[in-house]
Chain A
Amino acid sequence: MNRQHTHNKRRMSSKALVSAVVLSTLFVSACSSNNGQSNPGGAAEGGNGERVTLKIEVFDRGNTPTGMTIQDNYMTRYVQESFGDPNNIDVEFVPVPRSEEIEKLNVLMSSGSNVPDIVFTYDPNTFNRYASQGGLTDVGPLLDEHAPNLKAFLGDDVLEYGKFEGTQFSIPAKRSNTGKYSSFIRQDWLDALGMPVPTTTDELYETLKAFKEQDPGQTGGQVIPFGMTIASAQYETMLWSFIEPLSDEERFTLTQQLGSNDYPTLLPGFKEGLAFMNKLYNEGLISKDFGLDEDKKKFYEDISSGKTGFFSEDDVNLYYENGTYDILKANEANANVLPIDVFTNSEGKYVKPKYAPNGMYIMIPKSSQRSVEAMKYLEWMASDDHLFHIQNGVEGENFTLEDGIPVALENPSQEAIDRMFISGDMAIISNGKQLGSEEDNMKARKLQFPTRYQEDVALAQEIANRDTVEMVVTGRPIEAQTKYATTLQDKFNELIVKSTMASPDQFDTVFENMLNDYMTNGGQAILDERTQLYAELNG
């Protein structure tokens, strides 16, 4: 009797509990779906003349100076006063952590709440995904109606990058300078050895060997002739110089665009490039640990402590105040780093990749009820001197004008410095300073650097823009690229590391295995899709 009862009771309780679970699940999910649909933009309805709120995404990099917040600082106040108040708009900035940008955006989108009216990303895959899932506003008509200045500023070339299957689903930012890389060599080491500046890949190889054997920097055997990492800036210049001249068809079908870069994995000559890298590695000319150095920390450590003789890098990274070059000079007063172009291709040219003319993708979610205001904001930024003000600050406090080009003040006040912390992330319609022409842009960029390095910066910028190969425009998104990009970027880096670190007699096997792995994980799908698209377009 007792037992029977206990048994029943237990069954009862577990049953009750299970149904409670189900109920609460239903309840909560019903709740959420409701909420998600009834109030998608999270913004209140606003009639004519009523004050409305415009929400704009802003990157939070955790570098906000004391006394300001990411939502309330000089720049946000400027936006509110100059744009918001005259238009009867409350501008609200929605911070998104830079490192979790895409994840947070995904969650906001799929929960249908708190989605800002203006969002952006650097990741073309995310843009393509959002566009293909039907979540974005077609901004074409809005551009025509509300944004003449913005259209003129960006130009048709740049705007083309913001299209998805022919529809303008995003507004791409305009890049002020498309040069990427330069190479650098220790001139003082060359002088010590009595060697000339190398001008071809073969000469460079001899120079590296001399660095290794004779250790002109007296590093006590710790010399790293060629500074290398697994970041693209260090290896791309070298690898692309091995790529053979291509027909248009080859360029179109064999290139693999992963993220915002073209990858040479399948291009003729790529294997030879890796074979060269393998040789350098096995002869001890590049660091044994290059495959571990993803954030370039060790790379900079070796340069600034005077162990590295030669390297490729983003054109201007060395030259910041108290930056790598300054520290190197503090360690070795005679150190002299010369920007050079050295990796020659089969035609004797210094080919290297460049940036696409666009920066990030600015999008207005379909759920936004403030798409007109959002477009007006972008138009405001492109009009008058607003962009200039955001990028350069206050004349006399942050910069002075010389021939119409802003020159950063040598010793700005702390207040003036602090107001600029968010400058780059607020000027969303542009990557880098815009002064009307690429030439002036580069001049302005040079003038941001300490006077002692301006000549070198100019040279490095010139090298970065010499013999560049443009990215291939496919005109239509390649679905396989969107799907497999992150996996393949990883596989590509693995291919480089493994092939380079293989012993010379193993190189062929390792390369083939890794390439095979790359192909089966999406490389083949991309190749097929591009081949088919090429046939269609030229059929």
Chain B
Amino acid sequence: MKEQTASRWFDMTTVIILTVTTLLCLAPFVHLIAISLSSAGPITSGKVSLIPVDFTMEAYAKVFSDASMIRSMFFTIALTLLFTVMCMLMTIILGYPLSRKKLKGRKTMMLIVVITMFFSGGIIPEYILVRNLGMLDSIWALVLPGLINPFYLIIMVSFFNNIPESLEESAEIDGSSHFRTLISIMLPLSLPVLATLSLFYAVGRWNGFQDTLMYITSPELYPLQLKLYQMVQNSMITDLLKNEGGQRNMLLVPESLKAASVIFATVPILLVYPWLQRFFVNGVMLGAVKG
């Protein structure tokens, strides 16, 4: 009896905490939506918080009528898909062997990976490498240099490690090859972590733009985030505009258009996680052990 009341209290507290944090996390997004739907006057005078003032869809009309924006969206989706698939492939084929405790040279290989978490050559030799491989201004410059994230690899190894060794051994006794074990036992048992790391890779690529600043010059290969970054950065250097002899109204992107572009570029990737949640099924592993 007493424990049931305690349990109810616990549930109540959970609901309250989660509601508050959820609202806090939602607020800035709602604010951006409100800005994207308001007119310039109220925005500049700081009158827009969570509800649009002087409602207008103009900004969205502009975003959706901008062919380069739409093209950029498709390119970003293609880039993210390609990147995620290749990264996962590479991370899996390195992660699986590294999780096999009996493999000789495992620690050395892991050390090789861990060192790269801390040491890097810096931007100039990286640029030279990309250039020497003939990848400048191509999609590969945005894919190949980031194929394996050491941190994600470590996570994958740790999850593989938690899969009972007995499973693998029984497969081996059955005469199954390592390839088969990986594909038919390890991967199906690791769906949650595969989904998680795919999400990490995809989001990282979707949100990343620093490399595009260096490697990409053709507008057809501009990812959305690069366009967004330029829009947002522009307003940070208004002070320079007069200095540079430009006409301010030609150079400034309206706040509502910025916000609409942010929403436009964010919503697609936000939808990935709810979709991936189907792979977060409880007890996959348990069933397998029993079976």
Binding site for B on A (CB under 8 A): 6, 9-10, 13-14, 17, 21, 28-29, 31-32, 35-36, 60-64, 66-67, 69-71, 94-95, 97-100, 103-104, 107, 110-111, 113-114, 122, 175-176, 231-233, 260, 294-298, 300-302, 304-305, 314, 316-317, 320-324, 327, 330-331, 355, 359-360, 417, 420-421, 423-425, 427, 430-433, 448
Contact = CB atoms under 8 A, between A and B. Distances in A.
A61 B241 CA distance: 11
B251 A427 contact: no
A10 B109 CA distance: 11
Interface pairs A-B: 7 shortest CB-CB: A62-B230, A424-B246, A305-B45, A431-B245, A13-B105, A99-B233, A301-B46
Contacts of A176: 245
Contacts of B242: 314, 316-317
A416 B261 CA distance: 25
8 contacts: A14-B105, A62-B234, A66-B68, A69-B219, A98-B233, A301-B44, A317-B248, A424-B246
Contacts of B251: 61, 63, 424
B230 A94 contact: no
Interface stretch (B125-133, B159-167, B174-182): B125-133
Contacts of B46: 298, 301-302, 305
Given A32-B132, A63-B231, 9 more contacts: A14-B105, A98-B230, A107-B124, A111-B131, A320-B249, A323-B249, A331-B45, A417-B250, A424-B247
A64 B236 contact: no
A321 B104 contact: no
Interface in B143-166: none
A21 B243 CA distance: 49
Contact of A97 (B123, B230, B235): B230
B232 to A, nearest CB: 9
B112 interface: yes
A232 B40 CA distance: 26
Contacts of A231: 239
Interface string B31-61: 0000000001100111100000000000000
Contact of B45 (A70, A327, A355, A417): A327
Given A28-B132, A71-B219, A448-B247, A62 B213 contact: no
Contacts of B231: 62-63
B108 interface: yes
B233 A104 contact: no
Contacts of A427: 245
A35 B125 CA distance: 12
Interface string B184-228: 000000000000000000000000000001100101000000010
A423 B250 contact: yes
Given A301-B46, A317-B242, A99 B236 contact: yes
Give the interface centre of A35, A61, A298, A420 by most chain B CB atoms within 10 Å. A61
A320 B248 contact: yes
Nearest to A59: B244
Contacts of A432: 245
B240 interface: yes
Contacts of A431: 243-245
A396 B217 CA distance: 35
B23 interface: no
Nearest to A65: B66
B211 to A, nearest CB: 12
A107 B65 CA distance: 35
Contact of A70 (B129, B219, B235, B237): B219
B108 A111 contact: no
A63 B68 CA distance: 11
B40 A10 contact: no
Interface string B246-262: 11111101000000000
A64 B72 CA distance: 14
Given A66-B67, A424-B250, A32 B125 contact: yes
